[in-house]
């Protein structure tokens, strides 16, 4: 979540329980490389990014409390428009997927979730997320997170899903733990932010563990 796959030079992009009943709208194309599916949870809808999302993403991703533990995002609307275009091209190549997080009753995104391949077969992948601070603690992350993990495992075919989070990012690490991710170790001085090198925690979710956990899930309210 700390390293976003895209950078402003377009070489690499912006990166950070209640069981959601996930619905994939029937208009979605069967191949995610052609177009990402629209997924509807209990609190949010996940959909492909649109150019019109750029102003909302600029406001969310550059807020100090959000930007603290992610790679430096674009600092203009035009920069985010280029990021969205880049994300769509990478999706077309089957290397990357980035979803806008839109709460029910709203039209603009309050954050994003990304998924990028680590190996050439996309069986090992890394995911990241960032959500506006006004929506922290409201169950939005868990709702969106479960849909993303389902998408990664059931649609893309990921068998190992990794995440990296600054050790100092207590909220981000707690969110990953809530999803059932297992911390495997600490990557020392692995993330550069504002001229400083930070240690990162390495987290993983295995497809087999995820499916087993889903088989015993029970509806519950998350506050």
215 contact partners, CB below 8 Å, separation of at least 6:
none
Q: What pLDDT was estimated at residue 216?
A: 72
**R_g of the chain computed on alpha carbons:** 16
Cβ–Cβ under 8 Å, residues 184 and 204: yes
What pLDDT tens digit does each residue of the chain (223 aa) get? 555 554 443 333 333 333 344 555 544 446 999 999 999 999 999 999 999 999 999 999 999 999 998 888 999 999 999 999 999 999 999 999 999 999 999 999 999 999 999 999 999 999 999 999 999 999 999 999 999 999 999 999 999 999 999 999 999 999 999 999 999 999 999 999 888 999 999 999 999 999 998 877 644 433 2
Residues, the chain = 223
The superfamily in CATH containing domain 23-158 is Gcn5-related N-acetyltransferase (GNAT) (3.40.630.30)
Q: What residues does each domain of the chain span? A: 23-158
Each residue of 190-221: b (16+ CB within 10 Å) or e?
bbebeeeebebbbbbbbbeebeeeeeeeeeee
């Amino acid at each position: 979540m700390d390293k976003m796959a895209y950078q402003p030079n377009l070489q690499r992009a912006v990166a950070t329980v209640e069981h959601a009943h996930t619905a994939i709208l029937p208009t979605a194309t069967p191949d995610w490389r052609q177009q990402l599916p629209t997924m509807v949870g209990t609190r949010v809808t996940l959909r492909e990014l649109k150019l019109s999302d750029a102003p909302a993403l600029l406001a969310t991703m550059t807020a100090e409390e959000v930007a603290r533990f992610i790679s430096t995002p674009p600092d203009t609307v035009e920069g985010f428009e280029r990021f969205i275009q880049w994300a769509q091209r990478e999706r077309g190549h089957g290397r990357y997927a980035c979803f806008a997080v839109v709460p029910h009753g709203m039209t603009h995104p309050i954050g994003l979730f990304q998924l990028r391949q680590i190996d050439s077969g996309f069986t090992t992948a890394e995911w990241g997320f960032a959500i506006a601070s006004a929506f922290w603690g409201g169950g939005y992350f868990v709702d969106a997170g479960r849909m993303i993990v389902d998408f990664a495992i059931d649609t893309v075919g990921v068998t190992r899903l990794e995440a990296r989070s600054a050790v100092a990012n207590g909220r981000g690490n707690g969110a990953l733990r809530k999803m059932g991710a297992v911390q495997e170790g600490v990557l020392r001085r692995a993330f550069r932010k504002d001229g400083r090198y930070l240690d990162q925690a390495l987290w993983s979710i295995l497809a087999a563990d995820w499916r087993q956990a889903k088989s015993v899930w029970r509806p519950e309210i998350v506050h």
